[in-house]
Structure 1
């Protein structure tokens, strides 16, 4: 089994204010289905009100992020599935529920972890 990150940036969601609850309900239904199928690992949305903190190798923390990730936002789901095709199928269900395209990336396995 391989774990996949399924994600989207906040800007991808163009949902009218009156439809937000419908989107949340549909997304939660997909998560319940993923749990029932035994593939669900974790999901959530980044807290965009709490800025990132970059921690250096010496342990010092400074407000901010790597320049290329400064705009990281949105939501994500991690699934553990037997194939890329299975991950794409779950991404399609999440895309339909959230009404926006989803990006899919595989995690590398660390045999020592």
Structure 2
């Protein structure tokens, strides 16, 4: 089985109708049911929701020194808002899960497979460890 990342993207200033309180409650209920379905099907591996992009800190090395800066890595209006890591037989199965997530939250979902070595518990073996 291949592992896929379903990335939930939020867009700053996106023109769309915001969810009402009732729609938000329904969305949360749909997500709870969907996540239970993922667990039951053996698809769910891990998931997480992220705080807003302005809470990010970027760590990088420049001229041999470690520097930290506030804010997201990329100056962009699109940001990663959360994610699911799932197992699926193929891309079509992963897209089916992503379709259910996007229907529940009305936000774009990017689906991408992990590199072949990432599905092994010892993912760093390729580096000679």
TM-score, structure 2 length as denominator? 0.71
Shift of the 73–52 alpha-carbon distance from structure 1 to 2, 3 Å rule, reads: farther
Structure 2 alignment gaps of length 5 or more:
124-129
Matched, 1:36 2:40: yes
Give the secondary-structure state (helix, strand or coil) at the position aligned to 1:16: coil
Match of 2:59 among 54, 60, 67: 54
Partner SS state of residue 79, structure 2: coil
CA displacement at 1:23 relative to structure 2: 0.9
After TM superposition, list the pairs within 5 Å mapping 1:78-89 onto structure 2. Answer: 78-89=85-96
Task: Describe the shift of the 1:87–1:17 C-alpha distance in structure 2 as closer, same or farther (beyond 3 A).
Answer: same
Q: Give the Cα separation in 1 of the matches to 2:115 and 2:18.
A: 33
TM-superposition CA deviations, 1:10-52 (whole Å, max 9, x none): 2378542312121111112111110111110111211115223
- The answer for the alignment partner of 1:108 in structure 2 is 115
Alpha-carbon offset, residue 61 of structure 1: 4.1
The structure richer in strand per residue is: 2
Please say which structure displays the higher CA radius of gyration: 2
Any stretches of 5+ residues in structure 1 without a counterpart? none
Size of the alignment, in residue pairs? 113
Query: What TM-score results when the alignment is normalised by the length of structure 1?
Result: 0.80
In the other structure, the counterpart of 1:6 is 6
Q: Judge conservation of contact 2:7–2:80 (CA < 8 Å) in 1.
A: no
Name the structure, 1 or 2, with higher relative contact order (CA <8 Å, separation 6+). 1
